[in-house]
Amino acid sequence: ERLEEIFPEAFGEYVELLARVRARQLEQGELSDENAAKFRALVAGELEAAVLAGEWEKAEQILAAELGSGFSLKDLGLKE
């Protein structure tokens, strides 16, 4: 309950998105150095702000730009 007061619900969506991105990277068997660099770029970029603002189209654009195909919200099982 206390965490719900501190973190907005959208932050949970952001964390879930990152978890699914990481899992997908591992499934695809990309080189770990390449994975780490892409993941760091994603976290350092504007994805968090987009998700927290509910700007899912922008989040899609960021995912495509940073990770390429196979990482859409639909691919990750987050949106239909």
Give residue-wise pLDDT tens across range 8-62: 778 899 999 999 999 998 888 766 888 888 999 999 999 999 999 999 999 999 9
Please tell me the predicted confidence (pLDDT) of residue 52: 94
pLDDT band per the 50, 70, 90 thresholds, residue 79: confident
pTM attached to this predicted model: 0.84
Give the DSSP letter of residue 49: H
The reported pLDDT for the residue numbered 55 is: 96
- What per-residue confidence (pLDDT) applies to 31? 67
Whole-number Å distance between alpha carbons of 75 and 80: 9
* Alpha carbons 75 and 2: distance in angstroms, whole number: 32
pLDDT of residue 26: 87
The ranges assigned to domains in the chain are: 2-67
Quote the DSSP letter at residue 30: -
